[in-house]
Every structure is written in C-alpha cells, then in structure tokens.
A and B are shown apart, each in its own frame.
Chain A
Amino acid sequence: KNEVEQSPQNLTAQEGEFITINCSYSVGISALHWLQQHPGGGIVSLFMLSSGKKKHGRLIATINIQEKHSSLHITASHPRDSAVYICAVGGSNYKLTFGKGTLLTVNP
C-alpha cells in the first residue's frame, strides 16, 4: 500500500505570503490529486497531475515522479484560502490513498 505523507500538518500564514505544502509517497504512481476542504464543508478537487506543473489562478501544483514528491503552492495567499489541503495518490484502479491533510490558516 502506498504511504502518503504531507508536510506541514499545520501552517499559519499572513495574507499575501507565498505558501508551499508538500506531499511525498512511497510507491510509484500514475496520477496525484490535490483536494481542498473548507471547515465544515465538502471536498473539492483542485488538481490532478501526472507530470510537470499545473496552474489555476493563484494555485500551482508540481510533481516529480522520480522523487515521488509533489508540492502545492499558493501565491499571494488570502484568508479565503484557509482550508485543509489533501493529497491523494492512486493505488490499484478505483482506489486512492489519502494523506492526513494540511490545515492552512491565513490571517488578514
């Protein structure tokens, strides 16, 4: 089974700061997911990537397949970015292994 580790577990930032959340996994994969969960809310898929980099607004996700590592960056952070960010990787088909999540708090 793939082991998924996220760091840091908790992150507090000031509005405007550049933020990086990391995800490492133990077994080679075909794709990695980044998800966002607001407090008391549902879960939204941000990115799915299998190589290189993807960008959506102020969010950038990168993956290094050889190093088994992915990062999620948030530029010019805003209090509305406060959420739990979850990394997930595929095991066998139909199944994902999820990280425990990173709780991000952005203060105004």
Chain B
Amino acid sequence: NAGVTQTPKFQVLKTGQSMTLQCAQDMNHEYMSWYRQDPGMGLRLIHYSVGAGITDQGEVPNGYNVSRSTTEDFPLRLLSAAPSQTSVYFCASSYSGHVATNEKLFFGSGTQLSVL
C-alpha cells in the first residue's frame, strides 16, 4: 500500500496562474481532506469530502476548488494563484471521517507551494 500520495512535492507559480495539487489514496478511505500549514499557525482545513460526489468547505476555502469523482482521488485546484496562498499543503484521509471520535488521519508528504 502506498497510503496517501501527493504530487508535486514543490511548485512555484506566478500570481494569476492556475494549478492542481493531486492527492490519491489506496486505502479505500471515504474521507479525504486538504490542509494548509503556515508558519506560526496550526494546520487549517481547506476542503473535505466524505465520499465520491460529496465535498464541503473547511475553515479557509476561499481561492480553492475541489471535486471528488472517485473514492481514490481528491485534487485541489487553485484557479488564480495569489501570494497569500504560499504555504505547505497536506492531503489527509481516514476511513469514514470520524476523526473527532475514533479515527486516525493518514497524511500525504506535503506540497510546498510558492506564489510569486
């Protein structure tokens, strides 16, 4: 099992460019999520999904788009990148999303994104 796979590992964009961060898991997890990690702050939830065709907003969704067409994949799209989106992005999954009660989260290795 590869677990949670994120690509790319590093990316540099110019302001206004668009890109997609890829996330795939092979554990048959229903729940997938995207976080951003900024210096001096805890991880913040961007968007999450509890199954194919179902997505919802997290704490900081503005400027990001997601879709979930398959159980395995949960891409994060930046439609028009801004310097404020410079951050490290993590994808994470769990069996059904009950992370507040009884499920561990499995994280990808992260994507370091710089927007100039």
Contact = CB atoms under 8 A, between A and B. Distances in A.
Interface residues of A, number: 28
Interface stretch (A11-19, A29-37, A51-59, A62-70): A29-37
A45 B101 contact: no
Interface residues of B, number: 29
A31 B102 contact: yes
A93 B97 contact: yes
B2 interface: no
Interface stretch (B17-25, B63-71, B104-112): B104-112
Interface string B26-47: 0000010100000011111100
B74 to A, nearest CB: 13
A94 B99 contact: yes
Per DSSP, chain B at the interface is loop
B50 interface: yes
Nearest to A30: B101
Nearest to B112: A40
A33 B105 contact: yes
Interface string A34-50: 01000001111100101
Nearest to B108: A42
Interface of B: 31, 33, 40-45, 48, 50, 56, 58-59, 90, 92, 97-110
